[in-house]
Structure 1
Amino acid sequence: MTTKPGFHFLLLICVFMPAAGQLLASSDARASAPADSGNCIQSNLQTATDDSAGSELIVHSLAALYQVDTGKIWRAGSGYSSLGGGKAVRSDQQFRIASIVKTFAATLVMQLVEEGTLDLDMTLGQMFGDEVIDGVRTDELHVMNGKPRGSSVTLRQLLSHTTGMPDYIFADPPDGRPSLLSVLLGYMESGSVEDYIGSHRMNAESALRHFVEAGLAASPGFLPGRDYSYSETNYLLLRFLLEEVTGETLAVLYKERIFDPLGMKSTIVEGADTDTGSLDLVHQYWYFETVDGKYRNVDMTPAGRAIPLDYVSGTAGGMISNTEDLARFIGGLATGQLFNEQGTFKQMATMSEQSINSADSGSFHRLYGFGLTRVPTNRGGTLIGHCGFWGVCAFYDPESRVAIGAAINQAADRETFMGHYISALSGSYRSCEGHVDRE
């Protein structure tokens, strides 16, 4: 079976920017003529989405641009809501955003740091005491060479993925049982994702217990603070912390502290706000090679239902949104609309030394701060944001002060496709900049 769960396109936006220029070449001529920048941007944006959708892999593409100084939004969509056609995708249609949720969770943490409720150098022992949840001892979350160190892990290390704790979804347990991802892949192999959803129940508590009971906590990659390794486990723990220190559910915290202040009307927490069966979600796919060498584009959201691994935490995944709301979020976050102090976002967006020096030079999330990554462009600029497993991204361009929300909703080869796509979307705005009104 050929599949690769991690993102691997850290430099693709830089590498593929020339391809994006070719992609938009047909719209560059139109861009130089209109006096109305809105028409220019909308035309280029639609061209980018049209050129990205329609293949066997990419059933649809969605995008939004948000100019934070004017509040203007441009949206576009192309393709069909699900494989097989029939229903055209809408530009405002919702989808699951996977690991972009980490940026939302890190934002809540930094708000609480500003307020003095939390401190980045607080340890798990100080935050949770002896147990995180019943039966899961804090010290046992990181055991290396027989020595428990879980209580000494800091909040800063959780946010920056420098704890050394393995990923509870992707890592192979040392006790010989299959990883949670491998179990899912087995069901995909047989074409029965719906059976998997119906037979597997998981929540944040059971996920954390699996991490300890399967021996993952006793096989860390390194001592806390010594290196960098992207891990869902770090942000799973933030869920327990955020609800513990505030006395509120994640759904309430996100709504009151992020959604409402930024006017995000299409974003919800999975399982907390609305019955997802009543939502008209686009479908998300995973095109992969089976053991017999055949390829299958598997619908990972049959009947609108999500696989349990996608929503157990609410801090590493588990949110539904659309491209407009994602653009509003990353744009508002980057321009200080969610913080009291100007330096807070800068602190979030400062890449850790451990990630800069990481040996995993090909990983998209190699450069990492607190819930944010940086991606260089070939013009010497940088995009700041995060991506999720289903080929969904939210990035901010500090140079043009434009935010991008984008989705192709395909897990396979997403690094290649999203590298091209984000480059094209960035170019959609920049090729019209001579006409942009920032008043």
Structure 2
Amino acid sequence: MIYKLLTISLLFLVTSCQDKPDKAKESTIKDKEGNVSEFAVNFSPLTTIYKKRMGNEVESFYDSKFNSKDFSGSFLVAKNGEILYENYSGYAYKEKGDSIKQNTPLHIASVSKVITAVTILKLVDAKKLKLDDFVTSILPEFPHEKTTVRMLLNHRSGLRNYAYFTDDKGVWDKKKTLTNQDVLTLLATKNIGLESTPGTRFGYCNTNYALLALIIEKVEKKTYPKVLQELIFDPLGMKNTFVFDDLTKQDSVSQSYKNNYLRLAFEYLDQVYGDKNIYSTPRDLLQFDLALYSDKFLSPAMKAEMLKGYSYERKGTRNYGLGIRMLEFESGQQYFFHNGWWHGNTSSYVTLVKDSVTIIAISNKFTRKPYQTKRLAPKFGDYPFKFNDEEGE
């Protein structure tokens, strides 16, 4: 009888300990010096039982949808800043045998736009510019007088994509590397035209964010890479994140591959940044995501501007904020994310703000698997997605 009581007591103690908050939190943001960042946010610590249960669920999802034997990239899911599951597989540079590890930066493609947008919003917070400033007031040679900074951010400028208009006959010599300044100069000197009247409809366009990078440089009188380093990467301890801005150093970064591991060559568009060209890791992007919960990092007013939809000319759940995509359901629930695709690089950044969940997937060998991340959302909250188990990537 005494033995049974002792056994029951021991089981109770073990269970009780497992159900207590886990003190080994990973949610504290540290700056580049390793000190706790001024933008650190205190979340409620998760219990050991919750972390184990959800970690197992996410791992099962990863095994069924990603498959490390085929997937080349990185994957991470966290709640309240605590990592539930992460996985790294494949090669950053297969020809050199460089495998992808926790600290291996990969090209995050259009997820870069989220960071560019937040940098602009921080400059607005600092009263160095306004969302409704005309682009011409900052970049005088820009040819469209009614276009505002906000229209660039929410893709309502009506501009054409530089990747397309530089392909038009006589516009650009594709043997020459294109820069952000070249994009602006071409808009100013060539008859590029508009897709639509500024401010009238949504039209996703990389040109918008190439110009936002120039605006950042003009306002701060520093290069875009340096501004991001000072305002974002260093304060948040994003030690493995950088802007790629020099094609002569293409051999020093992770490479891009077709789905059969055939390496894709860099080209004349690969030096334009703002819309792309940030290399990062899931752990660094987690630090960035956590900082967005801090009112010191970005004011509540700017976060409100960022996370509201601007395009209602068509009915539907899809919308776009300032540098972030969103799905707005009839229930009132919102799902925030941004996907990316550049050459063989695909990426997905999901921030379930209401549930303080971060989901990140990055691949450098072409696959649509990162876009499967939305399937995880219903595990954490009331996201009314309907999935067909037979549907492809």
- Fold shared by both chains (TM-score > 0.5): yes
Higher helix proportion? 1
Identify the match of residue 221 of structure 1 among 170, 186, 195. Answer: 195
Q: 1:245 to 1:79 in 2, by over 3 A?
A: closer
What amino acid is the match of 2:57? N
1:147: which partner in 2? none
For 1:358 and 1:310, how far apart are their aligned partners in 2? 33
Matches within 5 A, 1:51-130: 51-54=64-67, 59-68=71-80, 71-77=81-87, 79-81=89-91, 89-129=100-140
The 3 A distance-change label for structure 1 pair 376 and 346 is same
Q: Does 2:8 correspond to 1:36? A: no
How many pairs are equivalent? 331
**Partner of 1:346: helix, strand, or coil?**
helix
The reply to whether residue 203 of structure 1 matches residue 188 of structure 2 is no
Post-superposition offset of 1:372: 0.8
Question: Contact conserved, 2:123 with 2:129, CA < 8 A, in 1?
Answer: yes
**Max radius of gyration: which structure?**
2
In the TM superposition, what whole-angstrom CA distance separates every residue of 1:342-372 from its partner, at most 9, and x where no partner exists?
A: 12111111110xx23248x79xxx5111111
The structure showing larger relative contact order (alpha-carbon pairs under 8 Å, at least 6 residues apart) is 1
Letter in 1 for 2:283: E
Q: Give the secondary-structure state (helix, strand or coil) at the position aligned to 1:367.
A: strand
Counterpart residue number, 2:327? 375
Q: 2:340 matched to 1:388? A: yes
SS in 2 for 1:299: coil
Question: Would you say the 8 A contact 1:351–1:368 is kept in 2?
Answer: yes
SS in 2 for 1:128: coil
**SS of match in other structure, 1:327:** helix
Please state how far the C-alpha of 1:383 moved relative to its aligned partner. 2.5
Identity, in percent, stands at 22
Letter of the 2:163 counterpart: I
> What SS does structure 2 have at the residue aligned with 1:399?
helix
3-state SS of the aligned residue for 1:262?
coil
Distance 1:422 1:229, change over 3 A: same
Task: Give the distance between the partners of 1:90 and 1:422, measured in 2 at CA.
Answer: 24
Matches within 5 A, 1:250-261: 250-261=224-235
Q: 3-state DSSP class of the match of 1:388?
A: strand
- TM-score normalised over the length of structure 2: 0.72
Task: Tell me what 2:263 maps to.
Answer: 299
Length-normalised TM-score, structure 1 = 0.65
Distance 2:331 2:200 in 1: 33
Distance 1:81 1:63 in 2: 14
* Residue among 278, 288, 306 paired with 1:329: 288
Correspondence for 1:351: 309
1:306-351 Cα offsets, whole Å, 9 max, x none, are 4442441x21111110111122212322554521x21211111111
Question: What is the match of residue 269 of structure 2?
Answer: 309
Q: Taking structure 1 as reference, are residues 172 and 247 closer, same or farther at Cα in structure 2, changes over 3 Å only?
A: closer
Contact in 2 for aligned 1:101/1:319 (Cα 8 Å): yes
C-alpha distance in structure 1 between counterparts of 2:99 and 2:370, whole Å:
21
Q: 8 Å contact 2:359–2:373 — kept in the other structure?
A: no
Moved more, 320-329 or 76-85: 76-85
| Counterpart contact for 2:152–2:209, Cα < 8 Å | yes
Kindly indicate whether residue 212 of structure 2 is the aligned counterpart of residue 238 of structure 1: yes
CA contact (8 A) 2:77 2:83 kept: yes
Residue 419 and residue 47 in structure 1: after superposition, are their counterparts in 2 closer, same or farther (change >3 A)?
same
State how 1:149-160 maps to structure 2 within 5 Å: 150-160=144-154
